[in-house]
Structure 1
């Protein structure tokens, strides 16, 4: 069996966005530790972990002490090869949708080679469209539609269990192929900012109506999962479209005409 300290489980982040109740942070930490997960990241929690969080953690206070706090989601996802967002709500712009077992397989597949993240939204409203746009997949727990709302910690427990179950099945399996050097989250964010600006510069996008277009383009490129080299090529194309490259820089001088004897 693979050592849990060096297994893919050690590279999976649970990211909680603007959690309101500190008790939920503690309960998520407990759910994670039950299943061998240790990477807890907090994005602008309303309050830092306190005595209520410690009580709900029930022995997982080491995860709370080690939790990383970030000012925004972008910094919480820095270095991640794959990001999945958890949400109970379906969206106007359809995202690739998976259930917890498939989400676990997708995360563990890339966690063999680097950090990945599972993102949970606010207790009252979940993830915003802009936050979901930073995820490659949307994970949905198929609850009863008549009573679909899950407590944050309960949702975290479902995913934590599936991650451990799949990990136990795959622990001794070798990767099928050498890993691709996937562009990390922060590199993708730089590309999307460059893309947005280019679309404005060339007159393709309307600044007042471009948010939905931006989400659709994010979905397109995130589905492709470009590696670093491919992302550099795409950014070079954008720079050329912005006029930052000399149009004739690869032109070759015409060969001289043959002389007539």
Structure 2
């Protein structure tokens, strides 16, 4: 039997958003390294680097040293083709809800083509609606309903373990069906969509939030391919040009 491809694990990043305690960053790095993952991204951490993080990493300081610190979650996910948020709440924000084993299979399959990510939120508040809207799916860890609070590093450990188990379980993965659009390409599409809908007077530019959140959810139910994003943006551009042409025609009408 051929050994599993280590490049797949290298294409999976663990993203910690707005982490409050540096010790949790170190413990998460340790959890990752024990399962062979190394790509740690930190979004606006309260304190980092820090000696407490180093102490809790317990030998995984190389993961901390190579961690990438980003100002925003958009930046951390810009080149990924799949981002799964880990949360027990807000199922109404993200259409697809996966178990940890299902998430591991999806991530490893997509990692053959491009980087993918698991996104964890703040220790106290978890992932915000805005952060979840940047993810294409939600992962929930089954826990005691009377006490479902899971330490951040423990949650990272559960997901990394499932990834390693799935990675060891097979030597080949089906190729992704489509060339997925990256996070950056999808966010540019949403920005274009919001601008176009405002220009077409379909969207109130003063309060676009609710409609745009519903549209994000609609599009997240389908896996947007790069070609599809280009087509959709072409349609938006054509609509904007038609609106502008009609306005010019109306201005010069006798």
TM-score by length of 1: 0.88
Conserved in 2, the CA contact under 8 Å of 1:9 and 1:36? yes
Q: CA deviation at 1:245?
A: 8.7
Give the Cα–Cα distance (whole angstroms) in 2 for the partners of residues 115 and 94 of structure 1. Answer: 20
One of 192, 206, 212 as aligned partner of 2:190: 192
Q: CA deviation at 1:240?
A: 1.2
Unaligned ranges ≥5, structure 2:
246-254
- The 1:90–1:42 alpha-carbon spacing in structure 2 relative to 1, beyond 3 Å, is same
1:222-233 map, 5 Å: 222-233=220-231
Structure 2 residue aligned with 1:62: 62
Conserved in 2, the CA contact under 8 Å of 1:26 and 1:49? no
Conserved in 2, the CA contact under 8 Å of 1:239 and 1:245? no
2:22 is the alignment partner of 1:2: no
Give the Cα–Cα distance (whole angstroms) in 1 for the partners of residues 201 and 142 of structure 2. Answer: 42
1:119-130 map, 5 Å: 119-130=119-130
Unaligned ranges ≥5, structure 1:
248-261
Secondary structure of 2:221's counterpart equals: helix
1:210-249 map, 5 Å: 210-243=208-241
Q: CA deviation at 1:142?
A: 1.4
Q: Higher mean Cα deviation, 81-90 or 117-126? A: 81-90
1:93-132 map, 5 Å: 93=93, 95-132=95-132
Q: CA deviation at 1:19?
A: 0.4
- The 1:145–1:90 alpha-carbon spacing in structure 2 relative to 1, beyond 3 Å, is farther
1:1-261 map, 5 Å: 1-2=2-3, 6-93=6-93, 95-170=95-170, 172-173=171-172, 175-177=173-175, 180-243=178-241
Q: CA deviation at 1:215?
A: 1.6
Conserved in 2, the CA contact under 8 Å of 1:41 and 1:76? yes
Q: CA deviation at 1:106?
A: 1.0
Give the Cα–Cα distance (whole angstroms) in 1 for the partners of residues 199 and 187 of structure 2. Answer: 18
Q: CA deviation at 1:95?
A: 2.6
- The 1:240–1:55 alpha-carbon spacing in structure 2 relative to 1, beyond 3 Å, is same
Give the Cα–Cα distance (whole angstroms) in 2 for the partners of residues 161 and 32 of structure 1. Answer: 9
Give the Cα–Cα distance (whole angstroms) in 2 for the partners of residues 90 and 245 of structure 1. Answer: 37
Give the Cα–Cα distance (whole angstroms) in 2 for the partners of residues 58 and 94 of structure 1. Answer: 35
Q: CA deviation at 1:209?
A: 4.1
Q: CA deviation at 1:218?
A: 1.2
Secondary structure of 2:125's counterpart equals: coil
Instruction: State the aligned residue count.
Output: 245
